[in-house]
Structure 1
Amino acid sequence: MAFALLPIFLCLLTLLPIFLVAQAQSSDNFTMGASHTASGINSAWLISPSGDFAFGFQHPVEDKDLFFLTIWYAKIPEKTVVWFSSRDNPAPRGSKVELTADRGLVLTAPNGSELWKTEP
């Protein structure tokens, strides 16, 4: 089981720094502590420099009040997901993903409980 998750984890480790560096270089608004909240629409927080990938929240098809933190292909009509966090624990509406200096990228529920995080 853990071995099956290895390719997904490696993909995330490869793609996420590209998003963070690209956003930091292209916008003065991206700083440590920047955050993005799961709202009623699928929304990107970061776009890769090429525009090929996006990172943010998307709904599972069956529930518009739950979200997955995802990386998806942004240039094709069907926003095909490449990676998403925690299949067994989707984020409820109002959840927030934040970049922190001490904990890395952290996804929290509206009540403040931690749903998922990277290592700093």
Structure 2
Amino acid sequence: MIMNSVKWLITLLLVFFLSHFSFSISADTITLDHFIHDNNDEAIVSAGNIFALGFFSPGSSTNRYVGIWYYQIPVKTAVWVANRDNPINDTSGILRIDARGNLALFQGNQTLPLWSTNISTATAGNSFAQILDSGNLVLLQNDTGKALLWQSFGHPTNTWLSFMKIGFNLRTGLNQSYTSWKSPDDPGVGNYTFRMNPGVSPQMVLYKGSVPVWRSGTWTGLMWSGIPEMAQNFLFNHSFVNTDDELSFSYHSINASLISRYVTNETGVTQRILWNNASQSWIISYTAPNELVFS
């Protein structure tokens, strides 16, 4: 009787350990064997419980999208959307690694994806996707030392996070710009784009369609000339890169506990928004254009 009890306890502990271990190693990743099904309300969460990746419906919409949002903030706030112009109208969506090694979104039993990372160098069975504490979703190749194949930071939607860039990779031609949603209920590509304009004096420019409505002014070495508020800002570090390989601008919070984001929204403004723990709400700390700056 005692021996049977001991065996039962060992078996119970082993089952618990294995199930817990399996969850822990896959909690932030999608592999060939571990995928996300909308019907099961599944998501993956970054190692530090900062960001989550899964299915959601924005605003009052019933359409389903794959997105990234802040995991611990009670107001579900999407910072990136995969299928922004290809919504799913039910909960049959599956996000998985496909036969070519890409991260892909499928609806029901359809064989063609609604969205995919579409990397030709991915290898079947040897890639996996991971959500990082930075909010970056990465596709990695296992058999090449976890080489980076693709990242959501290179394909932004309407939100600019710490360590993300706005600008160009001049070697690959990648243009990292931010485009508004159509509405709070529709994350489809909207009318406003916030991007870097190259040239002798590069500037960040907000466009409505093809028409510029605001410019940052030129880079002085410390700040953009059209944003004098930067001179009194001690919350962020900024990085401006202008080389033969790259033209970009990025920022990051000096205080790691400060949750901030820039959003180019459907009303035609770009705002810096901070999370206020006391009020449990987002507050706007900067808006552009607060005046038109052309130089």
Give the TM-score, by structure 1 length.
0.64
Measured in 1, the distance between the counterparts of 2:44 and 2:53 equals 5
Q: TM-score, normalised by structure 2?
A: 0.29
Q: Distance in 2 between matches of 1:81 and 1:31?
A: 23
Residue matched to 2:34: 34
How many angstroms apart in 1 are the aligned matches of 2:54 and 2:42?
A: 4
Query: Counterpart of 1:56 in structure 2: which amino acid?
Result: G
- AA aligned to 2:65 is F
SS in 1 for 2:86: coil
When residues 75 and 53 of structure 1 are mapped into structure 2, their CA distance, relative to the original with a 3 A threshold, is same
* Alpha-carbon shift at residue 34 of structure 1 (Å): 2.2
The alignment status of 1:85 with 2:82, answered yes or no, reads: yes
What is the distance in 2 between the residues matched to 1:103 and 1:31? 9
> Cα gap change, 1:72/1:44 in structure 2, threshold over 3 Å: closer, same or farther?
farther
8 Å contact from structure 1 (residues 55, 71) kept in 2: yes
Which residue in the other structure is 1:117 paired with? Answer: 116
Asked whether the 8 Å contact 1:24–1:30 carries over to 2, the reply is no
- Higher relative contact order by CA 8 Å / sep ≥ 6: 1 or 2? 1
Deviation >6 Å, runs of 4+: none
Query: For residue 25 of structure 2, what is the amino acid of its counterpart?
Result: S
- In the alignment, what sits opposite 1:72? 69
Determine if contact 2:26/2:34 at 8 Å carries over to the other structure: no
Q: Which has the larger radius of gyration?
A: 2
State the one-letter code of the partner of 2:34.
Answer: A
Counting only pairs closer than 5 Å after superposition, residues 39-58 of structure 1 correspond to structure 2 as 39=39, 43-58=41-56
Count of residue pairs the alignment pairs up: 95
Q: What is the identity percentage for the equivalent residue pairs of Structure 1 and Structure 2? A: 29
Give the superposition deviation at 1:92: 3.0
Structure 1's unaligned 5+ residue stretches are 1-22
Structure 1 residues 92 and 34: CA distance shift in structure 2, 3 A: farther
Give the 3 Å change call, closer, same or farther, for CA 110–87 of structure 1 in structure 2.
same
In structure 2, runs of 5+ residues without a counterpart are 1-21, 123-295
Instruction: Determine the structure 2 residue equivalent to 1:99.
Output: 97
- Aligned partner (choices 56, 60, 63) of residue 61 of structure 2: 63
Kindly provide the CA deviation profile for residues 16-68 of structure 1, in whole angstroms up to 9, marking residues without a partner as x.
Answer: xxxxxxx99624996424222223x8x4421000100000100132332x211
Structure ranking higher in helix proportion: 1
